[in-house]
Structure 1
Amino acid sequence: MKRETIVHLIKDWRVALLLLLVAGSLIGIYLTPPNPANGLEGNLQFGLDLQGGSWLQMEFQSVVVAYSTDKPVGDLIENLQKSLEVDVVQIDQNHLEIRKSVSRADLEPLFAASDAKIVTYHEGVSTFTADEVKRILNDKVNALGMQDARINLLTPTGSEYPQYVRIELAGVDMATAQEIVGKQGMFEIRIQTSGNETEHVLFGDQITSVGVPQRDTRSQAWGVGFTLSDAGADAFRDAALKYGAIDNPNAHNLVMLLDNKTVYSAPLSGDLAAQLRSAPVRSLSASTGTGDAGLEAAMTLEIHLRAGALPVKVDVVGSGSVPAALGEHFKTTVAIAGLFALLTVGVVIYYRYREPSIVIPMLAINFSEIIILLGIARFIQQLDLAAIAGLIAVVGTGIDQLVIITDEVLHEGRVPSPSLYMKRYSRAFGIIAVSAATVMFAMLPLALMDLSTLRGFAIITILGVLIGILVTRPAYGKIIMEILSK
C-alpha cells in the first residue's frame, strides 16, 4: 500500500483503536513493571500446569441438617452444642449447620432428645460459611503475594452445599502449600501471668481490622497495628488489670498463638499500660523488631491477624504437585502448538485466496487479537492449559469470521462499489454478531461456575469474542476495503 493509504487507515478510529490496544497490551505484558528476567513471557501469569506448583483439596468437617420440631429452636441448638461441644448455626428457618463431621445415626438420638426430627442430612457447609472460608484463605495467600493462587468451592452432584475447597498455588512446593492453607488457623491472644503460665484473653474473631506493616520513625522498629471490638477491648483491659500487667508491664508478655503455636510474644509498652489504667484501648500495635527480619516477622504476623480462625474445621483429603521442570516442558509444548496453529491457518487461507494482500492482513489481525487478549488476561486470568486451549480456539474462530467478511464482500472475485461493499459488510457483520452472541451465552455458565478446569477456557473464549466483535472485525473491514479498492 502507498504511504497515503497507510496514513488514511491509521487516522480511521477503528484501526487507531486496534493499534492503541496492541501497544497498550505490549506495555502491560513487558513494561508494567519491566520484567526482563522472564524474557518473552514478560508479566504473564502462568497457572499450575505451566509453571509447576501444588494443589490441595480440603473437606469441610461439617453437616447441614433440615429439621422439624414443635419446641423452640434455641433449645435444640443449645442441646446440640452441649452434647457435641461444637458450634451449631441456624442457616434459615428449617436448616442447621453443625460444624463437626458427625453421622446421621449419631445425630438422630440427639435430635430425638430435644423433641426434634431430622428431615434431610447433607455433608458440607452453607454457602455463607463456604464463602467466608474462601475469603479467609484468599486473604492468606494474597497477603503473601501469591497472585496466581486459585481457590474453588466444590459441590457434589445432587447437593446444594459445598463439601470441598480446592486451592492451587503455582510455583509453590507442597510443604509450603500445606503450611499456608492446610491448617485451620485458630488464632488466640493470651497474657502471661507468672513464670511461663498464661491465661486466655480473646480469640481472633474479636479483631475487627488489621493494618499493613509500618516502621516507627523513632525506633525504626517494624510493627503491625490492629483494632479490637468493644468486647475484645474490655476483655483485654480486664486481663491486664487482673494479672498486674498495668503495674508491671515488663513482667507480663502479650502472647499470640496460631494453632497453639506462639507466633508473637512481647511485653506491653509503658504508654499502653498507662492508657489501659483509665479506659479500654481498641487500637493496638505489635512491634516485631528492626531490619529485614523485623519486616518479615511483621508481614507474617499481619497474615495471622487478618486470617483469624476459620469458621469450620477442614481436613486435607487430596493433594498433588507439578514439578517446575514438567511445567516448563508443558509451556514449550503449548508455545509450539500455538505457533503451529497460526501457521496452519495461514497456509489454509493462502490456499483459498492465493493473494498475499488478503492473507497478510488476516494473519496480522488474528495475531493482534491474541496480543490484546494476552494483555487483558495478564491482569485478570492466569494462563493454564485450559486458557491456552481457549486462545487456540480464538485463533480458529477469528479466522472463520474474517473469511466470512472477505467472501461476503467479494462477489465472483470482483470488488464491489463502496456502497455495495458496506451493504455486504453489514450483512457479514450481522452473521458474525449472532454467532458471537451464541458462543458467549454458551460459555457464560462455565465462566461463572467455580470449575477450575473449565473456567479459564470460558473466560478466554468470551474475551476473544468480545475483542473480535468490538475491535478487530471493524478494523479488518476498513483495512480490507482499502486493499480491495486498490
Structure 2
Amino acid sequence: MSAIKDNWRVLLLALFIGFAVVALFIPGGIVADDSLGGNESVQSSPTNLEFGLGLEGGTRIRVPVTGMTAEDIASDAVSDNGQVDEERLEELESTLQNELDLDPADTNVNVQDDGTVTAEVFTDDVTEAEFASALQSANVDASEDDIRDGVTQQTRDQIIETIQTKINAAGLSGGTAYQSATLGEDYYIVVEVPNMGASELRSLLSERGVVEVQAYYPTENGTHTNETVLTGDRIADIDPPEQNQRGDGYFVPVQVREDAAPGFQQQMNDLGFTSEGVGQCSLRGDGEDINFNHEGQQYCLLTVVDGEVIDAHSMGDDSRSGTGLATSMRNGEWANDPTFQMGAPDQERAQSLSVNLRAGSLRAPLDMENNQVYSIEASHAEQFKEYSLLIGLLSVITVSGVVYSRYTDTRVALPMIVTAMAEVVILLGFAALIRMPLDLSHVAGFIAVVGTGVDDLVIIADEVMDEGDVSSVRVFQSRFRKAFWVIGAAAATTVVALSPLAVLSLGDLKGFAIITILGVFIGVLITRPAYGDILRRLLTDR
C-alpha cells in the first residue's frame, strides 16, 4: 500500500498510456465510429487515427452564405418582460413570403438571444429596396440602410451543424465544418473533407437538401395538381437505402413523426390515394427527369429534392391479403406505426436522399459562385505523411542522442526519453479518442511538444543533480519542487501565448496551438511529476 502511495504518479502515467494504446490500436475500443459509411483509408489503417487534408488528401472550401438581414425590427413582437408574440412573427414571415414571392424556406423571422427581432431572406433575387418595401408592408419601420448582406450567427450555426451532420451521415470520416471571419466582419463557412475532390464537395454543398413528398393527383376539371403532403422536418427516423426487389430503383425506409402521421394519413384518404388511386401511377423518366406528359388519371407520390422531382410512385396495397400501406391508412391503423418508403431512381440519389433526410436542409444556401477552393492530391498527402513520420523519428533519435551525451547516465537519460515519448503517445490517443483529423500543423505541434517536454525534463534533472549528493529523499523533494515551479511558470507563459491562436480562426495555426497547449497540460499534470518519481526511486536511497 505504501508503494502505491509513493508511486501513484507513475501509476497514473501508466494508466493514461494504457488508455491511449486502447484508443489508438483497438477498433471501437473506447469510442466507436458512428458514421453511416466509412472512410476506407481509415478502416485499413493499423491505428484509429484520422487524418486531415495535409496527410490524407482532399478539399477545403471557403464559401459565404447567401442572404440579407434586417436587424432589430418589430419591437412590438417582444414585450418588456421578454414574452414573444408568435402571431406577430408569423405575420411578418407570411408578409415577406407574399410580397417577395418566396418559399417558406427562403425567409426567416426570429428572436435573437438579446431579445431583438431579425428578418432574413435567403436569395439573390431580392434587392435591398424590395426587402425594405416588404418589411414596410408588414408595418415595420425599415429602410435600405437597415439591411445588410449576410445572415445572423444563429443561421450560420445551424448551417454548420447541418453540414457536419451531412458529412458524418455520408461516412466522410475526418471531415469538419466551421466558421471563419475577416477583419471586415465578413463571415464564411469553411468545410474540409479528406479523400474528396473539389467537384464532389461542391456538389454536396450546393444541394440545400430540402426534401418534400408531393401528392400529384387529378382535379375535378380533369387536370392534375401538386400538393406538398410531407416535409423532411416531419421525418423521425431514416434507415439505409435499399434496392427495390419488385421493380427498378431504390427506396429509403422512413418513419414519420407521431404528431405528423395522423394528418398525413388523413390527406392520403381525402385525396383518394388509398382508394381509387391505389397503383395508379405510371409516370416514368429517363433516369434524370420525370415525364409528366401522360394520359389518364395519375395518383403519384413524388419525391422532391430542392424542387426537382427525382421519383414518382403509387400507393401500394395487397387486396388479396388485406394488407399494405393503402389498407392500413384506410383503416386508420398506419398512424400507430407510421413507416413508408420514399423512392429514388438509383443508388446514388437514394444515398443523397438519405443523407439530406438525416441532416435536414441547409437553413440558407451557400454562395458557391464566390467559393475559394484548396485541395491536395492523395498521392502528395501520402508523401507528406511519410515525411512527417520520418521527421518525427529523426527528432526522437536526435533528442535521445543529445540527452544521453549530456548525462551519460542511463538512469537519468532513459527515463527522460521514455517519458517524453509517453507524452506523445497520450496525445495521439487523445486525438484518436475525439477523432481529431491530424494535419501538418498538428505534426508541428507534436514536434514542439517533444522539444518543450525534454526541456522541462532537463530542467528537473539539472536542478536535482547539479548541487551534489541527492541520495536523501528530503533533499530530492526540495530540489524537485524548486524545478517544478520553474516548469509551471514556463508552462503558464506558453499557454497564455498560444491561447489566442487556439481560439481564433487562423487556419493551420489553430491546430498547432491546440496540440502544443494539450501537450503542456499533459506534461505538467502527468508526465513531469511521473519523471520526478522515477528519478527519486533511481537516485535516492530507499
TM-score normalised to the size of structure 2? Answer: 0.75
Q: Structure 1: any 5+ residue segments left out of the alignment?
A: 1-7
What are the Cα deviations for residues 355-390 of structure 1, in whole angstroms up to 9, with x where unaligned?
333222211111111111111101221110111111
Q: CA deviation at 1:471?
A: 1.8
* 8 Å Cα contact 2:75-2:117 kept in structure 1: no
Which position in structure 2 is the counterpart of 1:5?
A: none
Which shifted more, 474-483 or 268-277?
268-277
Matches within 5 A, 1:124-273: 124-159=150-185, 163-193=187-217, 199-202=226-229, 204-213=231-240, 224-228=253-257, 230=259, 233-235=262-264, 237-251=266-280, 252-270=299-317, 271-273=324-326
- Matching residue within 129, 148, 167 for 1:122: 148
Q: Please state whether the residue corresponding to 1:341 is helix, strand or coil.
A: helix
2:411 is aligned to 357
Structure 2 distance, partners of 1:203, 1:449, is: 41
- TM-fit CA distance, 1:299: 5.3
Matched, 1:29 2:20: no
Query: Which residue matches 1:313?
Result: 365
Residues 207 and 305, structure 1, Cα contact 8 Å, conserved in 2: no
- 3-state secondary structure, aligned to 2:151: coil
Q: Partners in 2 of 1:214 and 1:65 — Cα distance? A: 41
For 2:53 and 2:233, locate their aligned partners in 1 and report how far apart those are by CA, in whole Å.
Answer: 36
CA distance in 2, matches of 1:393, 1:267: 63
Within the candidate set 73, 77, 97, 1:81 is matched to 97
Q: In structure 1, what residue type is equivalent to 2:239?
A: V
Distance (Å, rounded) in 2 between the aligned partners of 1:469 and 1:268? 66
Is residue 2:392 matched to residue 1:372? no
Q: Secondary structure at the match of 1:164?
A: strand
Deviations 1:307-352 (A, max 9, x none): 3322212122222321001101111222222222223323333343
Root mean square deviation, CA, Å: 3.8
Q: CA deviation at 1:135?
A: 1.6
1:85–1:307: structure 2 CA closer, same or farther, 3 Å change rule?
A: farther
Partner SS state of residue 181, structure 1: helix
- The percentage of counterpart residues that share the same residue type is 29
1:100 aligns with one of 113, 123, 132: 123
In the TM superposition, residue 173 of structure 1 has moved relative to its aligned partner by 2.1
> C-alpha distance in 2, partners of 1:214/1:61?
31
Measure the CA separation in 2 of the matches of 1:39 and 1:70: 58
- Superposed CA deviations along residues 141-190 of structure 1, whole A, max 9, x for unmatched, are 1112223001011233243xx73211111012223323323321121111
What residue is the counterpart of 1:56 in the other structure? Answer: 61
- Corresponding residue for 1:274? 327
The farther-off stretch of 115-124 and 383-392 is: 115-124
Q: Which of 418, 423, 426 matches 2:473?
A: 418
Structure 2 unmatched runs, 5+: 30-39, 78-87, 281-298, 318-323
Give the direction of change, closer, same or farther, for the CA distance of 1:71–1:36 in structure 2 (3 Å limit): closer
**Structure-2 change in CA distance of 1:365 and 1:450 (3 Å):** same
Return the alpha-carbon distance in structure 2 between the equivalents of residues 69 and 39 of structure 1. 57
Q: How many residues get paired? A: 472
Distance 1:214 1:94 in 2: 41
Tell me the CA shift for residue 406 of structure 1. Answer: 1.1
Seen in structure 2, the aligned counterparts of structure 1 residues 392 and 329 have a Cα distance that, compared at 3 Å, is: same
Residue of structure 1 in register with 2:451 after alignment: 396
Q: How many Å separate the matches in 2 of 1:70 and 1:236?
A: 40
Q: Match of 2:301, SS?
A: strand
Displacement of 1:301 in angstroms is 4.0
Output the CA distance in 1 between the equivalents of 2:353 and 2:75.
Answer: 48
AA in 2 matched with 1:117:
A
1:201 aligned counterpart, secondary structure:
strand
Question: How much does 1:399 deviate?
Answer: 0.9
Which secondary structure state, in structure 2, belongs to the residue aligned with residue 314 of structure 1? coil
Letter in 2 for 1:154: S
Q: 1:324 and 1:424, CA in 2 relative to 1: closer, same or farther beyond 3 A?
A: same
* Partner secondary structure for residue 19 of structure 1: helix
The alpha carbon displacement at 1:263 in A equals 4.7
d(CA) in 2 for partners of 1:401, 1:340: 20
CA distance in 1 between counterparts of 2:4 and 2:464 reads 19
Between the aligned partners of 2:501 and 2:141, the Cα distance in structure 1 is: 40
SS at structure 2 position matched to 1:166: strand
Contact 2:212 2:232 in 1 (8 A): no
Aligned partners of 2:310, 2:352: CA distance in 1, in Å?
9
Contact 1:201 1:239 in 2 (8 A): no
User: What does residue 441 of structure 2 align with?
Assistant: 386
SS of 2:466's equivalent in the other structure is coil
Residues 1:71 and 1:462: Cα distance change in structure 2 (over 3 Å): closer
CA distance in 2 between counterparts of 1:399 and 1:332 reads: 24
CA distance in 2, matches of 1:315, 1:109: 24
CA contact (8 A) 2:254 2:342 kept: no
Contact 1:174 1:321 in 2 (8 A): yes
